[in-house]
Structure 1
Amino acid sequence: FAATECIDPSEDLRRQHTALEKMGCKLSPALRTGATYIYTADCSVKLPSGAVAFSTTSVLTAESDIAYRIENRLTSQGGTTNESITAQRVADCAK
């Protein structure tokens, strides 16, 4: 699946962290090693049917000045889900 979107990667990451914090997740500070950033979130969300606990680990790798990759792993009682996102700058955003 491929999509074209106009996003600011730093702003998108801040938006995702804010959403996780609003859900009650505890986020770790990002650890940087070279061009790789690793961050985790431990979450316990209260739903009408009961609490749901899960954790996420995300690894963001800057592959160049115009491309990056994110590997996400979400672990819950139901198992583990992996997601891979690659992004590359293709043009200026429309104004």
Structure 2
Amino acid sequence: MFETYAGGVLFLGLGFVLAALVWLTVRAFRVRLGWGVGCLLFPPALVPFSYIYRRQLTVPLTVLGIGAVLAGGAIAVNRLIVDNISLGPREKIVDGVP
């Protein structure tokens, strides 16, 4: 059942992350041209920018967090739950021979 929705949840989370990063870059350009160019050419510059202007960036940072939780949650559930489910006797049948 999870495999049906995991891809959608993962891509939805990645879409939120991408939208938030674009939003943060646009906000960086609005603050100062140097911040915008720095964040566009060197994406890790978004970390200090987000820390310095965190009061003005609550909504894009929230969208980034939601996207990270969705994408990370889909990966974590797949890694921890789906990979460790015992298939019982179906796992022992190889080429139709038990």
Provide TM-score, normalisation by structure 1.
0.29
Bigger-Rg structure (1/2): 2
Provide TM-score, normalisation by structure 2.
0.28
| Larger RCO (CA under 8 A, 6+ residues apart) | 2
